[in-house]
Amino acid sequence: MNGAKPLKKVGKQADQSTDDIFLPEITLPLDAPAEPVAIADMAEYFGVTHRTLHFYEEKGLIEASRIGLMRIYRRRDVLRMALINACREIGMPISVIQDLFESLATANSVTQANEMFEEALSARRRELTAHLSTVHRQLQQISSLLVQGEDDNQPAAIRATSNLSDAELTCLHLMAEGFTTTRIARKLDLKFDETEEIERHVISKIGAQNRFQAVAKAVLLGLVAN
């Protein structure tokens, strides 16, 4: 066993005592905090901040009450948060989640709630598919632009590699790993201006205009790992 928590499906049928809307069946760890749930426990359980919970309250997605000075949530809010988290993990905008909850308010059963959620998921999948297609076209265009004017008699990767010194190649790898100029200087035990000069040589030899383009082109040419 990998230590993962067992899961069960929950919806309104799993908590008939609530007076909330019907919710689609989603997975929820068995050891959910007992009602009333303090805000600290709610935040820890879902891996979010107190500010995030406040934000969801402002948007009308969950509702908190108080016991003295302590902010607490009910079982219905735990179930709602499970749905909100599932939607946020796939990049669903808050406005769309609000629309989903408005639709769920009209559901007459968990089955109907499941259908509404599946429709929202399908819509999100279509959006992501369209976006992925756009990204692929843009990547192809970048590749086309980067290879324009290359010498056909010598592979670009070989030519670029032969033009780079050992220090420049090391610098390029660190740039690709996201190191700032300051961090590269410390890593190579160089002065900041010396490192800047090496970076300028790398960018020039790669045939790029800036740091970002140099790394992108190096990846496409196979000089550094993606």
Whether the pLDDT of residue 62 is over 80: the answer is yes
Residue 44 backbone phi and psi in degrees, to 5: -65, -40
Name the band, by pLDDT with cuts 50, 70 and 90, for residue 12: very low
The stretches of 91-150 forming alpha helices (DSSP H) are 94-104, 110-147
Name the band, by pLDDT with cuts 50, 70 and 90, for residue 121: very high
Whether the pLDDT of residue 195 is over 50: the answer is yes
Whether the pLDDT of residue 30 is over 90: the answer is no
Whether the pLDDT of residue 223 is over 90: the answer is no
Task: Give the N- to C-terminal CA distance of the chain in Å, as an integer.
Answer: 33
- For residue 36, say if its preceding peptide bond is cis, omega within 30 degrees of 0: yes
Residues 16-25: pLDDT tens digits?
333 578 999 8
Spatial strand order of the sheet with 65-67 comes to 37-38, 70-73, 65-67
**Considering only CA atoms, which of 224, 123, 113, 144 is closest in space to residue 177?**
224
Residues forming a β-bridge with 72:
38, 65
Whether the pLDDT of residue 1 is over 90: the answer is no
Q: Please report the pLDDT score of residue 159 as a whole number.
A: 56
Q: Amino acid identity, residue 15?
A: D
Mean pLDDT of 112-139: 88
Mean pLDDT of the chain: 81
Whether the pLDDT of residue 158 is over 80: the answer is no
Higher pLDDT pick, 191 / 132: 191
Q: Please report the pLDDT score of residue 161 as a whole number.
A: 55
Tokens in use for 19?
A: 């007076």
How far is Cα 43 from Cα 40, in angstroms, rounded to an integer? 5
Mean pLDDT of 48-75: 92
- For residue 29, say if its preceding peptide bond is cis, omega within 30 degrees of 0: no
Helices 211-221 and 166-176: angle between axes, nearest 10 degrees? 100
Whether the pLDDT of residue 108 is over 90: the answer is yes
Residues forming a β-bridge with 67:
70
Residue 94 to residues 7, 14, 52, 59, Cα–Cα distance (Å)? 26, 26, 12, 8
Three-class SS state of 98: helix
Whether the pLDDT of residue 205 is over 90: the answer is no
Q: Please report the pLDDT score of residue 156 as a whole number.
A: 52
- Could you tell me the domains of the chain? 7-120 (1.10.1660.10), 141-221 (3.40.50.2300)
- Other beta carbons less than 10 A from residue 37's beta carbon: 21
